Amino acid sequence: MRAIEVRGLRKSYGNFIALNGINLDVDEGEVFALLGPNGAGKTTLIRILAEGLSYDSGEIRVFGESLSKKTARLIGYAPQESLAYDDLTVRENLEFYADLYDVPGKRVDELIERFKLPAKKKAKELSGGFKKRLNLAVALLYDPRVLVLDEPSTGLDVPSKRELWELIKEFREEGKTVLLATHYMEEAEALADRVAIMNEGQVIAVGTPEELKRLAGNESVIHVEGILRGTEAILREFRAIERENVLRVSVEDARKALPKVVEALVEGGSEIRSIRIEEPSLEDVFLKLTGRGLE
Amino acid sequence: MKARAVKGIVVKDLRETRRDRMAVFWIFVFPLMWVTLLGAIWGGSSPPVVVHVGAVYFNESAPFTASTLIGIMENVSVDGQRIFRITRYPDESAGLKAVKAGRVDVLLLFPQGFGENVSSGLQGKVYAYFDRSDPQKYQIASGVVKGFFSEFEREMAYRKLNITLGYVEAYLPKNLSANLSPSMLRAYMMGLIDPISLREEAVKGERPSPIKFYVTSFIGIQFLFATMLTVSNLLFEEIEKGTLRRIAASPATAWDFLVGKMLSTFIVITASILIGIGYSKAVFKETVFPGPTGWLIIALSAVFSMSLGLAIAMGTRSMKATNALVNLLSMPLLFLAAIVIPESILPRWARPIADYFPLGTAVKDLRLLEIYHRPPSEVFPDVVWIAINSLVMLLIVVLLYNWAIKRLQ
């Protein structure tokens, strides 16, 4: 069964078109990722689904029913920002939302236990990881069938990120549908059954991570790490992304391209730490489809 | 309306307010400072008025002179406090200079021959020069000085009458009719001197206490300033944090949200008012505890003020702007609506504000009820006026809430 169906969804803010005719199907029980850079329209789409943000045209169905206050109860939403009131304890925050959604008080205890939350700690004293957990607990208060997560791992350190991913995997095992928006391709690859790549208010590709990677064709990626200088020539000649101390160059024939890449870097004065040939990632697919990186 | 959602908002807001030190200061500490300060300044009974009198007179050798009169004046006292502070000046120009410089409130000029005339039973002339630049000061000085002279003249007239009657009785022929008897003549002459006898009797009435006045001011501050500030901050925090969007997306309606916010604020303000009332009783031994009509007025006024605060928070784009606008609106109104000062000292142009601005009307009625013990029926039309205004403001706020939610999206 389709958990979410979106047809021809358009939303604009003045002259800025945030969503330009989105079509999307999310199946029940799958983890579906919206992958795209900031400003691609992911949060707008999510807020329409979860917060009732108005839209210009299009149709949205949740488990076959048109989106309304009634269907909102089927969707639990954990936004990017913390939903917690700083001066309230974890328990008090959950109690507040339980009152708002008319959820029995014992559900608060269940969620505190499940997410191992420090019940008596004030929200302002929580680490980033616990704040995200509290957001998830709020989203799950009324046991929704769909969980919508906006950039769930933004701002988290690696261990907290891993813990969060484990929780999301647990939700899938429980049969919940998870729709997550992210601009981290590794998050989409690690969690999603299917991924929709979004750019400038449009869905430009949908499929499993493997299907999407096939869009890159026979390409492979030269992954270089180190203190890199003289990358301008490579960025001009190849489809490549440079981020911090990493350069990823998409090429059709790695054996031919590799010497050219190395030569350019050495001439530029780079100190190369490692070079490897990899299969293309979702980010490389995004690069191929849009001509730019995810961040 | 969803009672549980309302309860949730109320409990959450109360917890947040209790833990916010700034809120605790403005809601609980600041008003107590206000009551303490004003109570300390105005709390004691007011001392009698003192009039500064300049006197210019000539030395004379008559039995009764200007100097004698000034001496009597100097000794007039009320409750042990001398009323006139006399400064003697050598001539008219020095005395007038003192009046113009504000060193004395009035200059009394006794011309040469004053004592001779009065001692001989003739009319004595006195010239009084008042500084009229301050009408209130002039009215007080003029009233007190003229009152003194009026009493003094009466006393002199009675003394002259007694002397005259002594002669009449000694020299009046004994065979005159009963209509010309000495007692008849005395009564007739008393009627000439004192045609109407105003007899003053002291009555121990309830004096409007300054402390009680300032307790009602404190209540006014709470429902004008503190409610507006508290509710607007509570709302703006929700806007800034993004939780308002979440609440709007929840099953809670606009009414649930607004009623929750207003109830939590009203509980906080009521607690604050009760603390202030108790504090005044403990420190100054005087207080005002509103009756049911008083509390109804407080509740209605609080709804008006909170609606205004919510409207401001929804119409502004930052907490700073909200606070600035709340202060800009409420601070002048505390004075112009006669909440912290008596209406009698308001300038004429500000009177309509005190009469028609619902919160000004509310404080005025609260004073009528709780200080002057007027019956509730006397303030009923005002209660209706406040209720209508509060309802209109509330409806405006519901519309604004829906608009604000759309704007946030």
Could you tell me the CA-to-CA distances from B392 to A90, B71, B234, B300, B396 in Å, in that order?
A: 39, 66, 22, 12, 6
Whose CA is closest to A44, among A203, A208, A282, A204? A203
Mutate to test the interface with B, among A85, A100, A121, A135 (most CBs of B within 10 A): A100
> Residue A7 sits in a domain of what CATH number?
3.40.50.300
Which of A188, A213, A238 is the last residue in one of the domains?
A213
Residues A147 and A11 in one domain: yes
Is residue A222 one of the residues assigned to a domain? yes
The answer on pLDDT for A198 being more than 80 is yes
> Residue A228 sits in a domain of what CATH number?
3.30.70
Contact state of A51 with B409 under an 8 Å Cβ cutoff: yes
Residues A146 and A28 in one domain: yes
Find the domain containing A124 and state its range. Answer: 2-213
**What is residue A293's predicted lDDT score, i.e. its pLDDT?**
67
Which of A213, A247, A265 is the last residue in one of the domains?
A213
Residues A86 and A223 in one domain: no
Is residue A30 one of the residues assigned to a domain? yes
Q: Which of the given ranges, A7-11, A266-270, B23-27, has the highest pLDDT on average? A: A7-11
**CB contact at 8 A, B391 and B304:** no
The answer on pLDDT for A288 being more than 80 is no
Residues A225 and A97 in one domain: no
What is the number of structural domains in chain A? 2
Is residue A284 one of the residues assigned to a domain? no
> Which tokens hold the place of A10?
């358009």
Distance CA B255, CA B398 (A): 7
Which of A191, A213, A235 is the last residue in one of the domains?
A213
> Which tokens hold the place of A112?
């505190």
Residues A222 and A166 in one domain: no
**Which residues of chain B does A51 touch, with a Cβ-Cβ cutoff of 8 Å?**
245-246, 248-249, 409
What does the pLDDT average to over A262-284?
86
Shortest CB distance from B4 goes to which of A53, A73, A99?
A99
ipTM of the complex model: 0.79
Q: In what order do the strands lie in the sheet containing A194-199?
A: A75-78, A146-150, A177-182, A31-35, A194-199, A202-207
Amino acid at residue number B398: V
The answer on pLDDT for A30 being more than 90 is yes
A31 by DSSP, 3-state: which? strand
| Interhelix angle B210-221/B358-370, nearest 10 degrees | 150
Contact state of B11 with A69 under an 8 Å Cβ cutoff: no
Residues A38 and A150 in one domain: yes
Residues A95 and A54 in one domain: yes
Residues A82 and A199 in one domain: yes
**Position with higher pLDDT, B276 vs A292:** B276
- Phi and psi at residue A57, to the nearest 5°: -155, 170
Distance CA B269, CA B285 (A): 22
Is residue A194 one of the residues assigned to a domain? yes
Percent share of chain B, pLDDT over 70: 96
**What is residue B15's predicted lDDT score, i.e. its pLDDT?**
94
Residues A129 and A195 in one domain: yes
> Which tokens hold the place of B98?
């003192």
Contact state of A92 with B12 under an 8 Å Cβ cutoff: yes
Contact state of A51 with B248 under an 8 Å Cβ cutoff: yes
- Phi and psi at residue A77, to the nearest 5°: -125, 125
Task: For residue A283, name the pLDDT band (cuts at 50, 70, 90).
Answer: confident
Task: For residue A97, name the pLDDT band (cuts at 50, 70, 90).
Answer: very high
> Which tokens hold the place of B206?
């309830």
**CB contact at 8 A, A1 and A63:** yes
Q: If you ran DSSP here, which 8-state letter would residue A179 be given?
A: E
Q: In what order do the strands lie in the sheet containing A239-243?
A: A239-243, A246-251, A220-227, A271-278
Contact state of B8 with A95 under an 8 Å Cβ cutoff: yes
Element at A96 (helix H, strand E): helix A90-100
How many Cβ contacts (< 8 angstroms) between chains A and B?
A: 66
Percent share of chain A, pLDDT over 90: 50
Distance CA B267, CA B274 (A): 11
Residues A130 and A203 in one domain: yes
Q: What is the CA B136 to chain-centroid distance, rounded? A: 15
Domains and CATH numbers, chain B: 3-43+211-408 (no CATH), 51-193 (3.40.1710)
**Position with higher pLDDT, A106 vs B134:** A106
* Residue B51: strand pairing partners: B84
Task: For residue A192, name the pLDDT band (cuts at 50, 70, 90).
Answer: very high
**Which residues of chain B does A50 touch, with a Cβ-Cβ cutoff of 8 Å?**
249
Q: What is the mean pLDDT of chain A?
A: 89
Is residue A289 one of the residues assigned to a domain? no
Contact state of B246 with A51 under an 8 Å Cβ cutoff: yes
3-state secondary structure string, chain B? Answer: CCHHHHHHHHHHHHHHHHHCHHHHHHHHHHHHHHHHHHHHHHCCCCCCCCEEEEEECCCCCCCCCHHHHHHHHHCCEECCEECEEEEECCCHHHHHHHHHCCCCCEEEECCCCHHHHHHCCCCCCCEEEECCCCHHHHHHHHHHHHHHHHHHHHHHHHHHHHHHHHHHHHHCCCCCCHHHCHHHHHHHHHHHHCCCCCCCCCCCCCCCCHHHHHHHHHHHHHHHHHHHHHHHHHHHHHHHHCHHHHHHHCCCCHHHHHHHHHHHHHHHHHHHHHHHHHHHHHHHCCCCCCCHHHHHHHHHHHHHHHHHHHHHHHHCCCHHHHHHHHHHHHHHHHHHCCCCCCHHHCCHHHHHHHHHCHHHHHHHHHHHHHCCCCCHHHHHHHHHHHHHHHHHHHHHHHHHHHHHHHHHC
The answer on pLDDT for A104 being more than 80 is yes
**What is residue B46's predicted lDDT score, i.e. its pLDDT?**
64
Residues A118 and A257 in one domain: no
> Which tokens hold the place of B174?
């004994």
Residues A95 and A181 in one domain: yes
Q: If you ran DSSP here, which 8-state letter would residue A201 be given?
A: T
Whose CA is closest to A139, among A210, A213, A51, A212? A51
Is residue A293 one of the residues assigned to a domain? no
Which residues of chain B approach chain A closer than 8 Å at the C-beta?
A: 2, 4-5, 7-9, 11-12, 15-16, 19-20, 241-243, 245-252, 406, 409
**What is residue A58's predicted lDDT score, i.e. its pLDDT?**
95
Q: What is chain B's pLDDT, residue by residue, as a tens digit (409 residues)?
A: 889 999 999 999 999 988 988 888 877 787 778 778 877 776 666 667 899 999 999 998 888 999 999 999 999 988 788 999 999 999 999 999 999 999 999 999 999 999 999 888 888 999 999 988 888 889 999 999 999 999 898 888 888 888 888 888 788 777 667 677 777 878 888 888 888 887 878 777 666 678 888 889 889 988 888 889 888 888 888 888 888 888 988 888 888 999 999 999 999 999 889 988 998 898 888 888 999 999 999 999 999 999 999 999 888 888 889 889 999 998 899 899 998 888 888 888 989 998 899 999 999 999 999 988 889 999 999 999 999 999 999 999 999 888 888 777 6
